[in-house]
Amino acid sequence: MGTPEERATKMTVALTQKLTLNADQQTKVKAILLDQNAQMTKARAEAGDDRKAARTKMVTLMQENNNKINAVLTEDQKQAYAAYQEERKANMKDRRGGRGQGGKSEEN
């Protein structure tokens, strides 16, 4: 997985390519992602073996950070970011063999 810095850098590069972020946006997004990685590491440690609690906290953190990222994007970039998130969600679902959301379909 790499260090939090490496993960934040990798994700910032990916978002820069997908969304054509300018230098100011890259700096802000990377800071948001670094903070997110630190918060998620802390949430995992605090949850211990309680995977459900860890997941709940991480979902909340991701939603908050997505809102922060959206705040630095233009309207066109926001649309591209939403599409990128859906693409990642579909890829994750495929990797898990279609599991997710408690076995419920996305259409419900």
Would 103 be classed as within a structural domain?
no
Would 95 be classed as within a structural domain?
no
Would 97 be classed as within a structural domain?
no
Beta carbons of 92 and 84 less than 8 angstroms apart: no
Percent of the chain with pLDDT over 70: 87
Supply the range of the domain harboring residue 78: 4-86
Q: pTM for this one?
A: 0.79
Beta carbons of 13 and 5 less than 8 angstroms apart: no
- What is the count of structural domains for the chain? 1
Would 42 be classed as within a structural domain?
yes
- The DSSP secondary-structure symbol of 73 reads S
> Sorting pLDDT into bands at 50, 70 and 90, what band is 98?
low
Of 41-50, 55-64, 65-74, 98-107, highest mean pLDDT = 65-74
Would 107 be classed as within a structural domain?
no
